[in-house]
Homo-oligomer: A and B are copies of this chain.
Amino acid sequence: MNSDFFKETFMKISEEKRQRIIDAAIAEFSEHGFDSANINTIAQRSGVSVGSLYKYFENKENLFLAIVHVGVEKLKAVLEDIMKSDESLESRIEKIIKAIQVHTRENVHLTKLYNEMTTEDRSNLVWKIVSDMENATAGLYTSIIKEARDKGYVREDLNANLFAFYLDNLFIMLQFSYACEYYKERMKIFVGEDTLNKDELIADQLMKFIKGAFFLK
């Protein structure tokens, strides 16, 4: 963990307690946003006193940033894992789509938090944490696309940077559509009520969409 946001003491407590705090904070922040999130509630939810919380984190903002950091690292790990294999662009994209479906469902709060972050006043600070990941994935996408283009696997006339951008846009919206109430409702309009059972359809069609965009026919 990046210790810019928490004090030494936070690493001295039991792994289990640390996790309880992180979980409670992610839940609270993702449900209410930064301003309305209640530190006292986080303390209660995690079975820790407010005083202790302030022993671990300088203030509310740092707790928030630490939490964001955790979320980012988790997502980064998932994506890098996939991207660093040496499979084809096509199969990597397919894997990412599936991974997003699984990871997002398992980390709904984290994804909500990510959406929350994009609205904050604090986005400059937040940006410092997230940019690391965004840079990493952007770079990966772009280079893989370039490689595929140079090998003649995908159309020549595409701008690798922008295609990577649109690709990532589709992925981000996919995440939100699985986690955030608003986007979940919105997806129902297109997919129907039982979105849960349509994972495969959603993935297949997205794959088709993306392949069409990228590949020669």
Q: Which residues of A contact B (CB under 8 A)?
A: 30-36, 112, 115-121, 123-124, 126-127, 130-131, 134-135, 138, 142, 155, 157-159, 161-166, 168-170, 172-174, 176-177, 180-183, 185-187, 189-192, 201-202, 205-206, 208-210, 212-217
A31–B121 touching, CB < 8 Å: yes
Copies in the complex: 4
Q: Given A35-B35, A138-B189, A165-B190, are A180 and B213 neighbors across the interface (CB < 8 Å)? A: no
* Residues of B with C-beta under 8 A to A168: 190
* Residues of B with C-beta under 8 A to A166: 170, 205-206, 209
Q: Given A161-B190, A166-B170, A212-B155, are A33 and B182 neighbors across the interface (CB < 8 Å)? A: no
B138–A205 touching, CB < 8 Å: no
* Residues of B with C-beta under 8 A to A191: 161-162, 165
* Residues of B with C-beta under 8 A to A112: 119-120
* Residues of B with C-beta under 8 A to A116: 119-120
- Give bound CA distance, A135 to B124, whole Å: 34
Among candidates B35, B123, B185, B208, residue contacting A180 with C-beta atoms closer than 8 Å: B123
- With both chains docked as a complex, state the minimum distance between the C-beta of A64 and any C-beta of chain B, in angstroms: 13
A159–B121 touching, CB < 8 Å: no
* Residues of B with C-beta under 8 A to A33: 33-35, 119-121
Among candidates B121, B170, B189, B192, residue contacting A169 with C-beta atoms closer than 8 Å: B170
A138–B32 touching, CB < 8 Å: no
| Chain B residue with Cβ nearest A112 | B120
* Residues of B with C-beta under 8 A to A214: 212
